[in-house]
Structure 1
Amino acid sequence: MKSLILYSSSTGNTKKIAHSIYDAIQGGKEIKNISELIDNNVDYENYDIIFLGYWVDKGICDKNSKLVFENIHNKKLALFGTMGASTKGNYGINIMDKVKDVFSKDNEIVGSFICQGKIAEGLKVKYEEMLKLHPENEHICEQLNNHEESQSHPDEQEISEAVRFAKDIIAKASNM
């Protein structure tokens, strides 16, 4: 079985998860940063399964990931992402559902994983400015409260969960 791990990373969170997945899976495999692919085509037919990593931007995958994701067809896909907010509760689930909708329906999404990542310092400043304009916005308040907590993510537990996710996906794909 040959696997491709594609990822987009702004602050290094998704890259960390992507490389953990790469290191965990056996067999033929390649890893590529999506930013290197925007002008280069990939022959997805060479892969049995594609792990696709994104970072969350405004409640959905980042724009570079979206551009690549929209052009994948007839493949088995395993999605993984990182976001600054806590992934507990409905917010993380809603994001994964939105990302799944980016793909053509001719693909088979065999699993999804999302975990918290560090919030960039520049984003904290942006949220502080936004809060001045919208003090009632729960998401902005949550992001600011979450900033300090986020600095330790993705943590060892989340990396272990990503590794387990990847191994489960490979096992499942091998049996299909």
Structure 2
Amino acid sequence: MKTSVVFSSKTGNTQQLANTVAAALPKQELLYTGAPNEAALAADRLYIGFWTDKGSCNREIAAFLKQVKGKEVFLFGTAGFGGDAAYFEKVLTAVKKHLDRSNTVIGTYMCQGKMPQSVRERYVKMQASPLPIPNLDSLIENFDRAATHPDAEDLHRLTDAVKQTESR
């Protein structure tokens, strides 16, 4: 079975996941690894990685997903906000809406990803404003938790999820 790993990465988090996916796949089956490209569509199974934008995948991946037809698809992504399974499931549900019904989703994986330092600086600046929003402390705490992700445990769980699909 031919496979492709397609991803978009703004900060390097999703690329780190994509590299982990590619390393877990049998080399002789790997047809394509990289940014969305028509060449990836020649594979039977696509591992598609995204970064979270407004509760779904980024636009580049959304456009690519619409081109995918009749494939086995494994979706993986990173999100700066939230490390909780319910939030990740909500994002994945939104991402799946970009896929044609002829596809079969064979697996999913999401983890938290670090954000640019400018995000934290913006939160700190907002705290000094006359009317700061009430949840700024929790946003800063989330930013600090995200700073180490994806970590070794995230990558290990992703490898396990990919290997489960390969045993099918």
Q: TM-score range by the shorter chain?
A: 0.7 to 0.9
Any stretches of 5+ residues in structure 2 without a counterpart? none
State which drifts further: 125-134 or 104-113.
125-134
Aligned mate of 2:99, from 103, 107, 117: 103
**Equivalenced residues, count:** 164
Matched, 1:42 2:44: no
Contact 1:84–1:143 (8 Å) recurs in 2 = no
Match of 1:31 in 2: 33
Q: How far does the alpha carbon of each residue in 1:2-46 deviate from its partner, in whole angstroms, 9 at most, with x for none?
A: 110000001100000100110111132021123xx3xxx3361x2
Query: What is the CA-CA distance between 1:148 and the residue it aligns to?
Result: 1.2
Aligned mate of 1:146, from 139, 142, 151: 142
What amino acid does structure 1 have at the position aligned with 2:158? A
Match of 1:170 in 2: 166
Match of 1:94 in 2: 90
Call closer, same or farther: CA 1:69–1:123 in 2, change over 3 Å.
Answer: farther
SS where residue 68 of structure 2 aligns?
coil
- Superposed structure 1 runs of 4+ greater than 3 Å apart: 125-134, 140-143
Any stretches of 5+ residues in structure 1 without a counterpart? none
SS where residue 42 of structure 1 aligns?
helix
Whole-angstrom CA distance in 2 between matches of 1:119 and 1:147: 7
Matched, 1:73 2:69: yes
Query: What is the CA-CA distance between 1:86 and the residue it aligns to?
Result: 2.9
Query: What is the CA-CA distance between 1:143 and the residue it aligns to?
Result: 3.2
CA RMSD in angstroms comes to 2.0
Return the TM-score normalized by structure 1.
0.84
Call closer, same or farther: CA 1:69–1:142 in 2, change over 3 Å.
Answer: farther
SS where residue 70 of structure 1 aligns?
helix
**1:52-67 equivalence runs, <5 A:** 52-67=48-63
